[in-house]
């Protein structure tokens, strides 16, 4: 049973089930076979571009064409590791047997996973041996020139710096800062969903589970391969440092959606999402210490992930009802109580300003998803809703 969102390349959706798209199957098999032949995702990406092999194309409800782009590395990694192609479905951090037809044989799948694992191991070994610098190739000065990693030895002590004509930055401290910022971002799951532009409940669940797992991995050990998928570049100014988060790379990484879609955030922009912090470099004894500005409190609160998920489900289930499904059919499909479906669907009729406030994290203190769903009778009058929920 497909839980929502765009189907992967090679499949379409019919009656909530994945069915094989005959015109896309050979494209998927070509990707898997060429990876085994070329042995590298980077070479595969260039090969597919030269053949004009593109991602899934689809048309929105408003009639706008989407997708049909050349593949990025992140999109190819997601495609090659998507178990849907062997007849299985990934839900959160577990993989289950699906009800759809596999389009990649198990022998090819296993060979691809082994090659991916071997390449990851070799890549990490090379990175550790040749460059202890997590941000090599990503860190640039505001004048556009890159910071280059340098290491040496002085009076028996090793030192590592990122070097630029304007000055140098200590590797350990700036690497730790960037890693900590990414861990913090992965913990703000409502913000993540806004950045990658999804309100689909199933995608939100998948993204949340992957974000939690990734944050745990980064706490144990910095991962350059993860950084390369999430970060476009890190720019250092005179008194600030800014991370440019790649929306498409982040979406592919967190949701396993491999199409090279022109991902927009909740604000409608396709530009990178920027995280900017003030900083200064101070001398401490014989060394230098990077002083990063504290996180400033946002002008608004962070949205409640549970409320966001509940509102998204309300609209998704209302769409299901409009398509002809019954409350009972929705409940059976999603393995939940029919009464919960009925109570939740009512929230699709909240006043627009109430919904907007919840999405922005501006709901009254004490308004939780559980309280919202358990309201015995939700007024149809928007003014009465505002009064009942504390928005007046």
- Which of 80-84, 122-126, 273-277, 284-288 is the least confident region? 284-288
The residue among 7 and 262 whose pLDDT is bigger is: 7
Q: Report the mean per-residue pLDDT for the chain.
A: 81
Confidence of residue 283 (pLDDT cuts 50, 70, 90): low
Same domain, 248 and 338: no
Confidence of residue 206 (pLDDT cuts 50, 70, 90): confident
Same domain, 285 and 351: no
Torsion 13-14-19-22 (CA) sign: negative
Same domain, 114 and 143: no
Same domain, 260 and 148: yes
Same domain, 168 and 276: yes
Within a domain: 246: yes
Statement: residue 178 has pLDDT above 80 = yes
The residues near 371 (Cβ < 8 Å, ≥ 6 apart) are: none
CATH classification of the domain holding 27: 3.90.1750.20
Percent of all residues in the chain with a pLDDT value above 90, rounded to a whole number: 26
What's the confidence (pLDDT) of residue 299?
A: 38
The residue among 363 and 230 whose pLDDT is bigger is: 230
User: How far apart (Å, rounded) are the C-alpha atoms in residues 292 and 285?
Assistant: 19
Within a domain: 202: yes
pTM of this structure: 0.47
Within a domain: 1: no
Same domain, 214 and 232: yes
Same domain, 243 and 335: no
Same domain, 185 and 266: yes
Same domain, 23 and 78: yes
- Among the three residues 90, 122, 154, which one is the final residue of a domain in this structure? 122
The residue among 128 and 201 whose pLDDT is bigger is: 201
52: nearest Cα among 75, 73, 68, 28: 68
Tell me, letter by letter, the H, E, C secondary structure of the chain: CCCCCCCCCCEEEECCEEEECHHHHHHHHHHHHHHHHHCCHHHHHHHHHHCCCECCEEECCCCCEEECCECCHHHHHHHHCCHHHHCEEEECCEEEECCCCCCCCHHHHHHHHHHHHHHHHHHHHHHHHHCCCCCCCCEEECCCCECEEEEEEECCEEEEEEEECCEEEEHHHHHHHHHHHHHHHHHCHHHHHHHHCCCCHHHHHHHHHHHHHHHHHHHHCCCHHHHHHHEEEEEECCCEEEEEECHHHHHHHHHCCCCCCCCCCCCCCCCCEEEEEEEEEEEECCEEEEEECCCCCCCCCCCCHHHHHHHHHHHHHHHHHHCCCCHHHHHHHHCCCHHHHHHHHHHHHCCHHHHHHHHCCCCCCCCCHHHHHHCCCCCCCHHHHHHHHCCC
Within a domain: 268: yes
Confidence of residue 281 (pLDDT cuts 50, 70, 90): low
User: How far apart (Å, rounded) are the C-alpha atoms in residues 262 and 264?
Assistant: 6
Statement: residue 60 has pLDDT above 60 = yes
Specify the number of domains making up the chain: 3
Statement: residue 160 has pLDDT above 60 = yes
- Among the three residues 89, 122, 155, which one is the final residue of a domain in this structure? 122
Same domain, 181 and 85: no
Within a domain: 4: no
Q: Is the CB of residue 257 less than 8 Å from the CB of residue 203? A: yes
Statement: residue 322 has pLDDT above 70 = yes
Within a domain: 298: no
List pLDDT tens digits, range 259-271: 444 455 444 556 7
Statement: residue 244 has pLDDT above 90 = yes
Statement: residue 298 has pLDDT above 50 = no
Same domain, 272 and 329: no
What's the confidence (pLDDT) of residue 78?
A: 85
Domain that residue 204 falls in: 131-292
The residue among 335 and 162 whose pLDDT is bigger is: 162
Confidence of residue 147 (pLDDT cuts 50, 70, 90): very high
Within a domain: 3: no
203-234 as b/e, with b when 16 or more CB fall inside 10 Å? Answer: bbbbbbbbbeebeeebeeebbbebbbbbbbeb
User: How far apart (Å, rounded) are the C-alpha atoms in residues 369 and 337?
Assistant: 16
Within a domain: 373: yes
Same domain, 222 and 316: no
State the average pLDDT over residues 140-146. Answer: 91
- Among the three residues 67, 98, 122, which one is the final residue of a domain in this structure? 122
């Amino acid at each position: 049973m497909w839980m929502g969102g765009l189907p992967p390349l090679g499949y379409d959706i019919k009656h909530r089930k994945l069915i094989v798209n005959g015109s896309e199957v050979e494209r998927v098999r070509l990707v898997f076979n060429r990876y085994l032949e070329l042995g590298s995702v980077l070479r595969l990406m260039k090969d597919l571009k030269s053949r004009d092999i593109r991602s899934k194309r689809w048309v929105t409800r408003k009639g706008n064409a989407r997708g049909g782009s050349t593949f990025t590395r992140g999109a190819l990694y997601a495609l090659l590791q998507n178990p849907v192609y062997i007849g299985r479905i990934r839900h959160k951090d577990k993989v289950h047997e699906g009800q759809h037809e596999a389009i990649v044989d198990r022998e090819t799948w296993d060979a691809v996973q082994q090659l991916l694992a071997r390449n990851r191991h070799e890549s990490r070994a090379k990175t550790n041996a040749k460059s202890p610098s997590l941000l090599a190739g990503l860190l640039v000065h505001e004048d556009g020139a890159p910071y280059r990693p340098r290491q040496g030895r002085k009076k028996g002590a090793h030192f590592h710096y990122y070097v630029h004509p304007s000055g140098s930055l200590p590797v350990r401290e700036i690497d730790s800062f960037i890693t900590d910022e990414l861990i913090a971002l992965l913990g703000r799951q409502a913000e993540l969903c806004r950045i990658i532009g999804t309100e689909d409940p199933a995608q939100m669940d998948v993204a949340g589970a992957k974000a939690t797992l990734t944050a745990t991995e980064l706490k144990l050990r910095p991962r350059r391969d993860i950084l390369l998928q999430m970060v476009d570049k890190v720019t250092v100014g005179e008194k600030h440092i800014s991370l440019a988060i790649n929306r498409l790379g982040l979406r592919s990484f967190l949701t396993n959606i491999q199409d090279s879609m022109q991902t927009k955030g909740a604000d409608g922009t396709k530009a990178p999402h920027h995280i900017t912090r003030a900083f200064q470099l101070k001398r401490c004894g014989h060394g230098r210490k990077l002083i990063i500005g504290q996180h400033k409190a946002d002008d608004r609160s962070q949205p409640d992930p549970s409320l966001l998920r509940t509102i998204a489900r309300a609209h998704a289930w209302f769409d299901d009802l409009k398509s002809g499904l019954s409350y009972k059919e929705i409940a059976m499909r999603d393995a939940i109580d029919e009464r919960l479906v009925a109570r939740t669907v009512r929230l699709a009729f909240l006043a627009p300003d109430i919904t907007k406030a919840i999405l922005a994290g501006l709901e009254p203190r004490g308004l939780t998803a559980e309280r919202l769903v358990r309201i015995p009778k939700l007024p149809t009058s928007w003014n009465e809703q505002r009064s009942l929920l504390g928005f007046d």
